C-alpha cells in the first residue's frame, strides 16, 4: 500500500459514495449508502461515519491510518468553515457539515463543491492529467464547472469560480433557475437537450422523454429534427466554452456528464465550433476531451483535496 490514506466522500441527492484512497490514487475500499437527507444532517453524519469506519475495518486498515476526509457536494458553501449555506438538492441550509463530520470521525474534514472535486479528480488521474490549467464542465441536470490551476482548485473570492452554466449567452433565451435569461445551462445541459427535443416533437417509446444518447443517435441516423436540436446545443456549448477559454487560456477542457456518451458525435463538432468561436491562439493551445473517471471523479477528487492540504500543514 502506498503512503497516506484519505477518505473521499461524494454526497449526491440519492446516494453517498465513499472511497478510501491512497497517494497513488488507488481505491483501497469503497461503499455507497442512501443519502436520505430528510432524516437531518446530524443523523446523516452519524450514518456516514459508521459506514466509513466499518468499511475501513473490513479492508483491514486501522482508522488511525486515515489522515483526513474530503467531501464533495452540490451546494453553496463556505469552504473555509466547511459550512453548507444552502443545498437545494438536500433542502439543507446553514449546516456546519465539516464540524459535524469532524466530531463524528475524529479527523480533519475538507468540504468543497462537487464540480470542483470532480475537476480535481480528472486532473489528478483522468482526462486532464498533468494539465497546467483545466476547465472541467459537467453536462447533466444543469451545467457545472470546475477550474484547476497548477493542480489545485481555483475557487474565487466567494467560492463561485467555474459557474460556467450561468454565463448568459443568449439575450432572449429561456428563464434559468438562477433568475436570469439565456444561461448556458438552459441551452446545453442534458436536461435542456431533452426538453428541446420534446419541443421539436421527438419522443421515445410510449411517449417517454428521450435520453441525450438517443437524441444523438437519431441525429446520426439522419433525423433532421434531432440534428437541428443537437447542432443548436453544440453551438451554444461552444459559445460558453469559448468565453471561459478566452478568460482562462486553458490547455484542456474536460467534458463530463451523460452527454459524453455520445462520444465523437459530440466532441468532433464541438471542437470545430469551438475553433470558430474562441480566439485562434486560445483554441490552438486547448484540447477538448471527454472525462475518463465517470462516477469515481468525485470521491477521487475529494480524497486528493485532503492529500494536498494535509501535505501543506
Q: Quick: pLDDT tens for 69-109.
A: 999 999 999 999 999 999 988 999 999 999 999 999 999 99
CATH number of the domain enclosing 269? 3.30.420.40
Cα R_g (the chain), whole angstroms: 20
Assess if residue 120 is contained within a domain.
no
* Tally of domains in the chain: 2
**Tens-place pLDDT, residues 171-208:** 999 999 889 999 999 999 999 999 999 999 998 888 78
Pair 92, 159 in one domain: no
Pair 75, 30 in one domain: yes
CB of 6 closer than 8 Å to CB of 68: yes
pLDDT along the chain (313 residues), means of 10: 86 94 96 94 95 96 96 93 91 95 96 95 96 96 94 94 95 92 96 95 87 94 97 98 98 94 94 98 98 95 92 46
Give the three cell numbers for residue 69: 476526509
Assess if residue 249 is contained within a domain.
yes
CB of 86 closer than 8 Å to CB of 76: yes
CB of 43 closer than 8 Å to CB of 90: no
Report helix, strand and coil shares of the chain as percent, to nearest 5.
45, 25, 30
Pair 272, 142 in one domain: yes
Assess if residue 264 is contained within a domain.
yes
Assess if residue 192 is contained within a domain.
yes
Amino acid at each position: 500500500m502506498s503512503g497516506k490514506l484519505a477518505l473521499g466522500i461524494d454526497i449526491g441527492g440519492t446516494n453517498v459514495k465513499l472511497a478510501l484512497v491512497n497517494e497513488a490514487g488507488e481505491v483501497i475500499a469503497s461503499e455507497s449508502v442512501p443519502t436520505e437527507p430528510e432524516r437531518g444532517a446530524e443523523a446523516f453524519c452519524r450514518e456516514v461515519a459508521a459506514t466509513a469506519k466499518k468499511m475501513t475495518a473490513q479492508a483491514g486498515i486501522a482508522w488511525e491510518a486515515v489522515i483526513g476526509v474530503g467531501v464533495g457536494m452540490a451546494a453553496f458553501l463556505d469552504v473555509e468553515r466547511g459550512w453548507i449555506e444552502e443545498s437545494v438538492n438536500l433542502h439543507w441550509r446553514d449546516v456546519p457539515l465539516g464540524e459535524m463530520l469532524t466530531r463524528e470521525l475524529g479527523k480533519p474534514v475538507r468540504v468543497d463543491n462537487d464540480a470542483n472535486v470532480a475537476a480535481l479528480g480528472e486532473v489528478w488521474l483522468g482526462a486532464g492529467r498533468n494539465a497546467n490549467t483545466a476547465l472541467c464542465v459537467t453536462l447533466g441536470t444543469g451545467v457545472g464547472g470546475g477550474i484547476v490551476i497548477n493542480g489545485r482548485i481555483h475557487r474565487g473570492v466567494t467560492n463561485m469560480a467555474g459557474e460556467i452554466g450561468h454565463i448568459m449567452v443568449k439575450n432572449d433565451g429561456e428563464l434559468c433557475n438562477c433568475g436570469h435569461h439565456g444561461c448556458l445551462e438552459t441551452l446545453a445541459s442534458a436536461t435542456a437537450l431533452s426538453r428541446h427535443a420534446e419541443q421539436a416533437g421527438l419522443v421515445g417509446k410510449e411517449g417517454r422523454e428521450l435520453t441525450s444518447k438517443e437524441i444523438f443517435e437519431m441525429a446520426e441516423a439522419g433525423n433532421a429534427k434531432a440534428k437541428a436540436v443537437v447542432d443548436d446545443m453544440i453551438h451554444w456549448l461552444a459559445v460558453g466554452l469559448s468565453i471561459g477559454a478566452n478568460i482562462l487560456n486553458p490547455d484542456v477542457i474536460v467534458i463530463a456528464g451523460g452527454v459524453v456518451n455520445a462520444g465523437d458525435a459530440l466532441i468532433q463538432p464541438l471542437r470545430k465550433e469551438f475553433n470558430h468561436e474562441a480566439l485562434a491562439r486560445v483554441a490552438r493551445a486547448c484540447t477538448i476531451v471527454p472525462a475518463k473517471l465517470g462516477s469515481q471523479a468525485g470521491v477521487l477528487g475529494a480524497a486528493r483535496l485532503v492529500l494536498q492540504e494535509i501535505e501543506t500543514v
